[in-house]
Amino acid sequence: MNFNDNNKNLDDNEMFLISLNRHIPLKHLSLIHDLDRKLDECVSTKYDDISSMVQLTYNVKYDSIVIKSILNLLQSGHVSSSFFSLEDVHRIINIYSKNHYFLTFASLHTIKPFTLTCLFCQKPLKILFKERVNVFLNDRVEGGVTYTARCCYVQYYSNSYVKGSKRYVTPQSLYNQKYIHFGGKSVLTMDVVLQYNADLVNMYAGFKNFCEYYNDKISSFLLQRFGKNDPEIRNQVLLGRRLFENVWLVYSTCMLKWILWKATETEIPLNISDREQRNSFFIDLLKCLQRDFSLFWSNHQHKYECGDQCCKAIVLDGFQKSDRFVCQFHREMIRSEELGDIEWGCGVRPEMIRDQENPGYWKNTDYCPKHVHLENVSSTPDSIDQCEYDIIDCNVSRTDRYSSRRTSYGIIVTMYNCGIIINFDELHRCEAPTRVLHHLFMTIENYSPHMQSLPKYLVYDNACGLLLTFRNRLENGRIRATTRTDALSKMTFLVDKFHIGNHRRAICQSQTNPYKYADVNNINTVVCEQKFAKLKKYQNALSSFSFPKTFALLIPILTIPIIITLTHNKLHSSTALTTTTITAETTSTIVTTMQTRDVTTQLISKTTTTKNPCASSSLRWKTAGSTVRSDSSSTLSCTHLFIDSDDTLYGVDKERAYVWRLPTGHTNSITVAGIPGSKGNDSFKLNYPEDVYVDRHGNMYVVDSNNHRVQKFINGTSSGITIAGTTDSGGCSLNQMYYPRGFAFDPSETFMYVADRSCQRVLRYRTDSNSSTSEFVINRDTTAGNSAKQLNGPWSIHISSSKSDELFIVNHDGQSITRWAVGDVEGSFVAGLPGTSCTNSSCFHDPTDVKLDIYMNMYVVDGNNHRVQMFCKNSRIGITIAGNGTAGTSTTHLSYPQGIAFDSNMNMYVCDTGNRRVLKFDKF
């Protein structure tokens, strides 16, 4: 063998390794390299630790300076990790971290603050060691190290930050995190949380069952490796039920809040183990959660395909299988505008007290801590909520005749006939008609305003008794007339088909008989019974809790059948509602997609397609548009469009200075801001408006360009409030704007970003602030340019739905689209040729608007090329989907288009500005 010939075939990496190996064995280099990759850079003792671990493994001592030099050589030599064999680095670090002989911060789990940049001043954080912790993984418990940081009087932790004496979490601090930690010595990995979610759905596991199973599983794994008397067995760290329960409930409650309601931060207990703090958190938050739950799911018809019989009836029923022991103090009142004070009862679990007759023992009481002083006091008779009807004919009683029972009456659930739950309440005493009516009034109160009206039918097993109580008390004044009573009186009360056979009253043979109504034949009136067949399996999980924890667990449990129903209906396109099961894999998908607000859309999309349709050329629109908005006088000057959650179309008429609204299915628009044809700078007028946005509360925001301001119109008002800029005073200071063009809102609607065109910047404002001064700037240099650090005629903005801090900015004068993360000093070009206009598929000529879909495909209005371009994810080559590159007046042509919007079915609406119209292009 000719060594010299072989030597000539060696590449630089191999020669580098051979040279280094003359002094240090390759297996030592391998271990040093792998330990360096495994240990985090923030470990201050890192190189000393690597030296010690190599010594423990090979009995060879390398100085830490030598270790650092070796690693620098390896990095400078660009050596691929494929040159190194795999060592059991995991075991080496684990053993070393438990060795008390070494003073080390080395760990398999380095848990740093969720952000490395201060949220308030945007400066880098200096992280510091905090403490050692136990990290719970699916199959073992390992040691870990937590770090913290402090800036602007704020303390940052792995999943939260503390400001003053309050702890906060944000979507950023919980989304896509490997660990969940709210303080203390125990840290959960997301794998453990996901496993419990799967067990909750599939095996209906309670917290106690899960923690016992988990600890037994870890014990079993340890016994396979060690003897019974080994310290690893004797010192096994256990997963505490209370800790796991508190962490999971706080985590899931915050997640659900962000699904149902847009928010950037949520205050949680400073110490989640403190019962008073924890209960206060749940009580305050759950009031809003129940309202948002109803608001969100009652509007599902406008968001998700649910079959032909969707939302035809409201069905409600009591579910007693979730009953639990409750305090026997019944005179806890709630206030109803219609019914007055109602004795709802106390829902807190009875307290255990020390048994004075048997020292060392505890005994149960009938009262909670608040009312335990009544334990030995003679109770006064409870009031009886009498029925307004004779129960003989129908044998249905809903009075307080069970008021002496020590357990609750479970829950009352209201859902659509298609199986979507829209409200629920826990019944502490009974299912009396007044309690059911109060529940219905609150359901109506929180019903989505996007639904034009309540369904025609109300189905309940005691509909006859409920109707008689409602009518009689409304007539004799015991129920106060309100808009909610008016809405309820318009509904037709029906007994469900399962129970109607037991009803003999005359009203049940005619008015409340479901078989007397032909359009009820295809309506599922027993949907509650079907859903309860699954919910009853959670009986053990629910019965061991006290208020408000029970309520906190009920919301995720009741969300599970909703998602199952929507997924089932989407997959099978069937109106038949059956009880389905869900796999652990799908459960993990649910939890993962909970990390974006629109959980169900994400889930249904995932079950129907996993590929970007743009990649397969299946994302297409009709080439000819249909006119949905124009003026007979051909004066429409449309610049931007907006479509809300119920597909109502909004647009701005720049030249005539007003904003219009076009509801779905309508042909005539309505003026909602400004006075058509009358420009001005007072609160009722606009001057060349450019863009419009409507938030979930119905508040409307308008970019009033020539007045250099943004106006906010509170829901339904015609008088605007200036929330950004200074009227008639254009400029580039932080309290001014200079001819702003477009704007965008983050998913939580907390921040508004404005494209300040003439100042070549993007300004950020808080939507809840009364100050017109911006708090953040993208491109502080007001000089136009085509570098990555500059903007050039910023015209329109889109915010990524998956990353709320990532902006896509149209450089109208720079002929490009820039992606810019909030806090960065420069962006990156994602489309166009900066500074160059042309007509080919990779460039623009005065682009004016940009939108992205859930697959991150990008849509750009290419104004002076008279077209709309689609860019598949990560592609720089555009595909023309509207217009053909030349101006024209036919429905296949565009003329200087400006704005674009998509409805819930991805039909595309375009401001065909040069032709004075708005065109709709239907999606295939």
**What CATH number does the domain containing 856 carry?**
2.120.10.30
pLDDT score, position 8: 57
Tell whether the model's pLDDT for residue 79 goes beyond 80: no
667 lies in a domain?
yes
d(CA 696, CA 644): 8
pLDDT score, position 776: 66
pLDDT score, position 21: 67
695 lies in a domain?
yes
Q: Do 673 and 718 contact (CB within 8 A), yes or no?
A: yes
Residues 732 and 868 in one domain: yes
549 lies in a domain?
no
Residue 100: pLDDT band with limits 50, 70, 90: confident
Residue 795: pLDDT band with limits 50, 70, 90: very high
pLDDT score, position 594: 40
Tell whether the model's pLDDT for residue 474 goes beyond 70: yes
pLDDT tens for each residue of 139-154: 889 999 999 999 999 9
pLDDT score, position 322: 81
Q: How many domains does the chain have?
A: 3
Residues 516 and 639 in one domain: no
d(CA 291, CA 285): 10
What value does the mean pLDDT take over residues 904-908? Answer: 89
Residue 905: pLDDT band with limits 50, 70, 90: confident
Residues 648 and 501 in one domain: no
pLDDT score, position 591: 40
Helix segments in 204-234, DSSP class H: 207-225, 231-234
Question: Residue 2, class by beta-carbon neighbours within 10 Å (0-12 exposed, 13-18 middle, 19+ buried)?
Answer: exposed
pLDDT tens for each residue of 206-218: 899 899 999 999 9
**pTM more than 0.95:** no
Q: Which domain holds residue 733?
A: 628-921
Tell whether the model's pLDDT for residue 313 goes beyond 90: yes
Q: Which of 520, 555, 571 is the last residue of a domain?
A: 520
Q: What are the residues facing 702 on neighbouring strands?
A: 692, 711
**% residues pLDDT > 70 (the chain):** 86
Tell whether the model's pLDDT for residue 262 goes beyond 90: no
Residue 730: pLDDT band with limits 50, 70, 90: confident
2: helix, strand or coil? coil
pLDDT tens for each residue of 212-254: 999 999 998 888 888 888 888 888 999 999 999 999 999 988 8
d(CA 880, CA 896): 15
Residue 539: pLDDT band with limits 50, 70, 90: confident
pLDDT score, position 106: 85
How does the average pLDDT of the chain come out, rounded?
84
d(CA 608, CA 590): 14
29-38, 547-556, 833-842: range with highest mean pLDDT: 833-842
Both structure tokens of 204? 């209906």
pLDDT score, position 818: 95
610 lies in a domain?
no
Least confident range from 43-52, 307-316, 479-488, 576-585: namely 576-585
Q: Which residues make Cβ contacts (< 8 Å) with residue 219, sequence separation at least 6?
A: 233, 236
Query: 700 versus 602: which is more confidently predicted?
Result: 700
Residues 678 and 817 in one domain: yes
Q: Do 869 and 860 contact (CB within 8 A), yes or no?
A: yes
240 lies in a domain?
no
Q: Which of 71, 98, 125 is the last residue of a domain?
A: 98
Q: Residue 842 to residues 190, 831, 880: CA-CA distances in angstroms?
A: 42, 7, 11
What value does the mean pLDDT take over residues 417-425? Answer: 91
pLDDT score, position 863: 94
425 lies in a domain?
yes
332 lies in a domain?
no
Q: Which of 77, 98, 119 is the last residue of a domain?
A: 98
Residues in the chain: 924
Tell whether the model's pLDDT for residue 55 goes beyond 50: yes
Residue 292: pLDDT band with limits 50, 70, 90: confident
Residue with tokens 């059911």: 436
Q: Which residues make Cβ contacts (< 8 Å) with residue 779, sequence separation at least 6?
A: 760, 761, 762, 789, 790, 791
pLDDT score, position 10: 63
pLDDT tens for each residue of 371-383: 888 887 766 555 5
Q: Is the torsion defined by CA of 492, 494, 497, 501 positive or negative?
A: negative
b/e per residue 276-307 (b: at least 16 CB within 10 A): eebbebbeebbeebbbbbbbbbbbbbebbebb
Q: How many Cα atoms within 13 Å fall on the side-chain side of residue 902?
A: 19
pLDDT tens for each residue of 646-664: 789 999 999 999 999 998 8
pLDDT tens for each residue of 670-727: 999 999 999 999 999 999 999 999 987 788 999 999 999 999 998 878 899 999 988 7
Q: Which residues make Cβ contacts (< 8 Å) with residue 540, sequence separation at least 6?
A: 204, 206, 209
pLDDT tens for each residue of 434-464: 999 999 999 999 998 877 789 999 999 999 9
Query: 4 versus 267: which is more confidently predicted?
Result: 267
Question: Residue 487, class by beta-carbon neighbours within 10 Å (0-12 exposed, 13-18 middle, 19+ buried)?
Answer: middle
Tell whether the model's pLDDT for residue 158 goes beyond 70: yes
452 lies in a domain?
yes
Query: 705 versus 509: which is more confidently predicted?
Result: 705
Query: 758 versus 261: which is more confidently predicted?
Result: 758
pLDDT score, position 574: 35
Residue 645: pLDDT band with limits 50, 70, 90: confident
Residues 853 and 719 in one domain: yes
d(CA 350, CA 702): 55
Query: 360 versus 525: which is more confidently predicted?
Result: 525
pLDDT score, position 198: 83
pLDDT score, position 392: 54
The vertex-640 CA angle with 635 and 641, nearest 5°, equals 100
Question: Residue 903, class by beta-carbon neighbours within 10 Å (0-12 exposed, 13-18 middle, 19+ buried)?
Answer: middle
pLDDT score, position 476: 92
Tell whether the model's pLDDT for residue 588 goes beyond 60: no
**% residues pLDDT > 90 (the chain):** 42
